[in-house]
């Protein structure tokens, strides 16, 4: 959200683009428009590994494991989907998206979908420095053809009270040269340098959700119970949930079922998040038939 607010302040075209994105999302959420997308959409991915130490130069296997997690979670094939409380089982959604490492680079040459850049930087901030070779990172591949995933040595928010963060993403409608997702190497994939409690690949599931225009389920209003994620089937929550909550966890007069802390768009540990809802899938449909329609095959 700090990245979103920064872009709203700095970039007038972003604000206009966001209005269009949200108008389309509202139409899909309310049934004024319905999805024409057929089958499963496959999104080519390029992973830019930016590292200072050999350990941070994560393996191909760690990257492949992360892609597998994305494919399970977005197709509702994750084994832990059965842990969704019964009251929300009927809301779970197959988002009909799969992810595949790119096989062709922007110039048409064969690729494994991975770039590797040694950097002098110990950490990057949410100012997008990692997305440019000139500042020690790697330039994005064309955002209308690839989901750019940057793997960082460490990410910090400019707010010193927040310190290290797991990752961040850019919502649809932003500048193409900074479009994509950034994740710290210790929160990426399920093997190698991935560390508990964020070692099941769900940081990427969450951040790619933002890339597809999903908001946090509590609406980012602190703990005021006045925010919204613009999705009707995710109960409003009184701020983010952390760790592994016990069902039900009631806030914001949302009894008896309470917060949907098992949703990928909360802040719980990887082991405690299992689902997207049908309303969230509708927002993703709106994105793929709008701002990110370049990923749909003709």
The alpha carbon of 86 is separated from its chain's Cα centroid by a whole number of angstroms, namely 26
The number of folded domains in the chain is: 1
Q: Which of 104, 118, 164, 207 is catalytic?
A: 207
**Residue 225 belongs to some domain of the structure:** no
**How high is the pLDDT of residue 96?**
98
Residue 271 lies in a domain: no
Return per-residue pLDDT of the chain as tens, 298 residues.
889 999 999 999 999 999 999 999 999 988 899 999 999 999 999 999 999 999 999 999 999 999 999 999 999 999 999 999 999 999 999 999 999 999 999 999 999 999 999 999 999 999 999 999 999 999 999 999 999 999 999 999 888 787 899 999 999 999 999 999 999 999 999 999 999 999 999 999 999 999 999 999 999 887 778 889 999 999 999 999 999 999 999 999 999 999 999 999 999 999 999 999 999 999 999 999 999 999 997 7
Residue 38 lies in a domain: yes
- Residue 69 sits in a domain whose CATH number is 3.40.390.10
Q: Is residue 51 part of a domain?
A: yes
Residue 228 lies in a domain: no
86 is catalytic: no
Alpha helices in the chain (DSSP H): 2-10, 12-30, 60-74, 86-89, 202-211, 278-288
Report if residue 190 sits inside a domain.
yes
Distances (CA, A) of 181 to 6, 18, 171: 16, 18, 9
Q: What is the span of the domain harbouring residue 205? A: 2-216+278-295
pLDDT of residue 2: 87
Judge whether 221 lies within some domain: no
Decide if 113 is inside a domain.
Answer: yes
């Amino acid at each position: 959200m700090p990245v979103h607010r920064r872009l709203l302040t700095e970039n007038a075209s972003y604000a206009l683009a966001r209005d269009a994105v949200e108008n389309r999302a509202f139409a899909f959420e309310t049934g004024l428009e319905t999805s024409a997308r057929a089958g499963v959409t496959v999104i080519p991915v390029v992973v830019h590994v930016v590292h200072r130490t050999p350990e941070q130069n994560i393996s191909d296997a760690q990257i492949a494991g992360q892609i597998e997690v994305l494919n399970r979670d977005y197709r509702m094939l994750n084994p832990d989907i059965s842990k969704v409380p019964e009251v929300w089982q009927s809301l779970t959604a197959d988002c009909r998206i799969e992810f595949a490492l790119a096989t062709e680079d922007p110039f048409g040459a064969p690729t494994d979908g991975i770039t590797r850049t040694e950097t002098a930087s110990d950490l990057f901030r949410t100012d997008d420095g990692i997305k440019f070779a000139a500042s020690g990172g790697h330039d994005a591949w064309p955002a209308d053809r690839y989901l750019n995933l940057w793997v960082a040595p460490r990410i910090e928010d400019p707010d010193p009270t927040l310190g290290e963060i797991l990752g961040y993403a850019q919502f649809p409608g932003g500048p193409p040269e900074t479009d994509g997702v950034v994740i710290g190497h210790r929160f990426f994939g399920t093997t190698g340098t991935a560390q508990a409690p964020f070692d099941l690949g769900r940081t990427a599931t969450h951040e790619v959700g933002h890339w597809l225009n999903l908001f946090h389920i509590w609406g980012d209003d602190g703990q005021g119970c006045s925010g919204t994620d613009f999705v009707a089937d995710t109960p409003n929550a009184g701020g983010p949930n952390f760790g592994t909550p016990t069902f039900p966890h009631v806030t914001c007069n949302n009894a008896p079922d309470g917060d949907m802390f098992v949703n990928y768009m909360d802040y719980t540990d990887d082991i405690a998040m299992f689902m997207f809802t049908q309303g969230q899938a509708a927002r993703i449909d709106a994105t793929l038939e709008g701002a990110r329609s370049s990923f749909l095959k003709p």
